[in-house]
Structure 1
Amino acid sequence: MGDGAGNWCLIESDPGVFTELIQKFGVSGVQVEELWSLDKDDFEKLKPVHGLIFLFKWVPDENPQGTVVRDSRADDMFFAKQVINNACATQAILSVLLNVNHDEMSLGPTLSSFKEFCSSFDSTMKGLTLSNSDEIRTVHNSFSRQNLFEFDQKSATKDDDVFHFVAYVPVKGRLYELDGLKEGPVDHGAVPESGDWLDLAKPIIEQRMAKYQAGEIHFNLMAIMQDKLMRYRKELAILTEVNDAAGIADLQLRISQEEQQRTQWKKENIRRRHNYLPFIVELLKGLAEQGQLQNVYEKAKTKAQELDERKKAKKKSV
């Protein structure tokens, strides 16, 4: 696949990266949280959840789940064909955001204009429009990791792992899987009468994971959900009115923990963008001048060999 009007970099699958990415698009009222299990209790803590982003190692699927939508329903939602490989994380995120209608979420001018501009386009044209969006690509690429050295790009081979993002999102009472490599949205059925679409999504994702061989851990599931700080502060205002001291103390603790998490995410994102090459060069020079460089190299070589041997042993045991 081509790179559209410009190059799109790979970005890390991380809740801090995705939350800041969404904010840089101009969206407010949402954040991203990583899920470590599919337990109902874990989902309960995050509600309202607007959509799920699933990262997995792509393999040919001979028995795909759901039914590909080929009727006019596809025109009533945002679904774009994947035109650029490296943009699939942003595409999956947009597949959720541009299909959400929630009072406490605002798309902001950039995504609102993009959604309106391509609303009448078919899925291929939507994909091309996304690939050619300078605003969206610039934000996406601002999360590229600094490469210490430039390497020649090699073509992917059949032995290389290829990872892919898809979105799960409820639209008009039905659960859809939005995968830009498919011909259309995949319909997974009506949301249960309880109104909780996560009850329908959970077994679908579990079945998908079960198709992989034992020991496969290349999965990542993230929830695009309401901004926790927004929810906590609204709840705090209510409890303050009724003077619920215990509830107030609990919420103040949660707010403090969430603010600390945001601060940590911000630091990590700054580090991701930082160019450490000048520091590394000076460090190597200093070690060489002190006659320690060879010892450090030998220790690192031994450690790398031990790590490689452990990985080989682990593969044999699977």
Structure 2
Amino acid sequence: MAWVPLESNPEVMTKFLHKLGVPKKWSIIDVYGLDPDLLAIVPRPILAVILLYPTKGEKTEEEKEKEKEKENENEKEKVQEGKGDISDSVYHMKQSISNACGTIALLHSVANNLDSIQLEDGFLKKFLNESKGLSYIERGANLESAQDIIDTHMESAQEGQTEAPGEDVEVYHHFVAFVHKDGTLYELDGRKPAPINHGATSPDSLLNDAALVCKEYMERDPNEMRFTVVALAASE
């Protein structure tokens, strides 16, 4: 199964969330840069940070394999440093649908902030309630048959500023979400079997702490410019 990919466009993503039942007091906001001065102008409070990064470029397969090995080593080091513990309260779901990473990043952002987001009655609230006690894999499988969410995604995917590619077109970008949960910064990626624990954070420092991880992504390829960062934050 494949979807038309969602564009990293705050207006499109915000409309998508509002159609799902997220109150209009919350919006997706551009993060124009990762320097402290630019982070300071993002409206507060901030509930989640979403990074879109390129997964394929001009690098050789050998270079990409080395990067993958380095990522795995970094994750092992985090576990050894005591950063591998994952809170049971983190909502994480598998991406079993091609090109669904944008929607899954948004669902991760909302599902892990239900103490702040009072969802309106509707299909997203029902989906999250029904999948609360399920496994990572079962949640992903449920999304494959969540027709109301699928229809909303497809409608939103056609609303971007660029022409939406077809479902069968290979996409070279990927969305991940960063959330605060129980005093910890988690990176949520539907392609990985578990959340990644990035250490201590707080609601107030979430954006700055997530920005440090986003910079790590960017430093892997300093010549690559195709990164975007947005935040789920209070509407301006």
Structure 1 and Structure 2 fold alike (TM over 0.5): yes
Structure 2: how far apart are the matches of 1:222 and 1:57? 15
* Partner in structure 2 of residue 38 of structure 1: 34
CA contact (8 A) 2:85 2:197 kept: no
- 2:214 corresponds in structure 1 to 205
Partner of 1:55: 52
Corresponding residue for residue 228 of structure 2: 220
> Following the alignment from structure 1 to structure 2, what is the Cα–Cα distance between the partners of residues 18 and 115?
19
Structure 2: tracts of 5 or more residues without a match = 57-63
- Segments ≥4 residues shifted beyond 3 Å: 65-72, 150-154
Do the aligned partners of residues 219 and 135 (structure 1) sit closer, same or farther apart at CA in structure 2, a change above 3 Å counting? same
Structure 1 length-normalised TM = 0.61
**One-letter amino acid of the counterpart of residue 119, structure 2:** L
Match of 1:170 in 2: 180
Q: In the aligned structure 2, how far is the partner of 1:70 from the partner of 1:211?
A: 22
Tell me, what secondary structure is at the counterpart of 1:127?
Answer: helix
Runs of 5+ unmatched residues, structure 1 = 229-318
Cα drift, residue 200 of structure 1: 2.0
Number of aligned residues: 213
Q: Is the 8 A contact 1:97 1:107 kept in 2?
A: no
Deviation at 1:34, TM superposition (A): 1.4
SS at match of 1:83: coil
Which residue identity does 1:30 align to in structure 2? W
State the alpha-carbon separation in 1 of the partners of residues 218 and 168 from structure 2: 31
Tell me the residue number matched to 1:87. 100
Deviation of residue 225 (structure 1)?
0.5
Q: 2:191 — aligned with what?
A: 181
Whole-Å Cα distance in 1 between the matches of residues 187 and 5 of structure 2?
22
Output the TM-score relative to the length of structure 2: 0.80
- Distance change >3 Å, CA 164–CA 176, structure 1 → 2: same
Distance 1:133 1:216, change over 3 A: same
Shift of 1:41: 2.8
**Superposition RMSD in Å:** 2.7
Once the two structures are TM-superposed, the CA of residue 8 in structure 1 deviates from its matched residue by 2.4
Q: Tell me the SS of whatever aligns to 1:142.
A: helix
Match of 2:138 among 125, 143, 146: 125
SS at 1:11 equivalent: coil
Answer 1 or 2: which has greater helix percent: 1
**2:10 is aligned with 1:15:** yes
1:37–1:70 distance in 2 versus 1, CA, 3 Å: closer
Deviation at residue 102 of structure 1 after TM alignment: 4.4
Letter in 1 for 2:224: E
1:263 alignment counterpart:
none
Where do residues 249-288 of structure 1 align in structure 2 (5 Å cutoff)? Answer: none
Structure-2 separation of matches of 1:202 and 1:168: 10
| Distance in structure 2 (CA, Å) of the matches to 1:208 and 1:42 | 19
1:234 corresponds in structure 2 to none
* Alpha-carbon separation, structure 2, partners of 1:181 and 1:173: 24
- Give the Å deviation of 1:151: 8.0
**Does the Cα contact within 8 Å between 1:36 and 1:221 map onto a contact in 2?**
yes
Structure with larger RCO (C-alpha < 8 A, sep 6+): 2
